[in-house]
Amino acid sequence: MLSTIFDIIVLLFLALGVFFNFLAGVGLLRFPDVYTRLHAGTKCTTFGSIFLCGSVILIGLRAWFSPYMGFSETNGSVLAIHTFVALVAILLTNPTGAHAIARAAHRSGVKPVGAVVDDLEGKPARKSTIKKKEAEK
């Protein structure tokens, strides 16, 4: 009974992870500009990766505590720990990379599709630019 509930939880996590990664792919194809594509690509894949890695961590922990699952050569601790480290790396690099791409797109002059007001337009990029402009006056 407990094994069946565990298997259902793992399958639910796998299904949710695949679903969110599928939504990311659809968003990359359907959205009109770089900013909305970044939103779909990073939010959905990060959320999908959380569920996929969560299911692998659960399987690794089960194999660690129940060695009857066929993991005779290595125990599940290696699987769980490596997956957790990969998940932390994904959670740190995915939003950081998206921010860098969005910032580069904005500095290159890429405008959002359908945007009426750009709050960042006309603002200097750095405080040193403000000081230079004040010194010129």
Q: What is the pLDDT of residue 82?
A: 92
- The tokens for 72 are 């005779």
Radius of gyration (C-alpha) of the chain in whole angstroms = 22
Q: What is the pLDDT of residue 21?
A: 94
Domain that holds residue 45: 2-136
CA trace torsion 15, 21, 24, 26 (10° rounding)? -60
Q: How many domains does the chain have?
A: 1
Q: What is the pLDDT of residue 3?
A: 80
The structure's pTM equals: 0.75
Tens-digit pLDDT string for the chain (137 aa) = 778 888 899 999 999 999 999 999 999 999 988 988 998 889 999 999 999 999 999 988 888 777 665 555 567 788 889 999 999 999 999 999 999 999 999 888 888 887 666 676 666 556 655 565 566 66
Q: What is the pLDDT of residue 123?
A: 63
Structural element, H or E, at residue 4 = helix 2-30
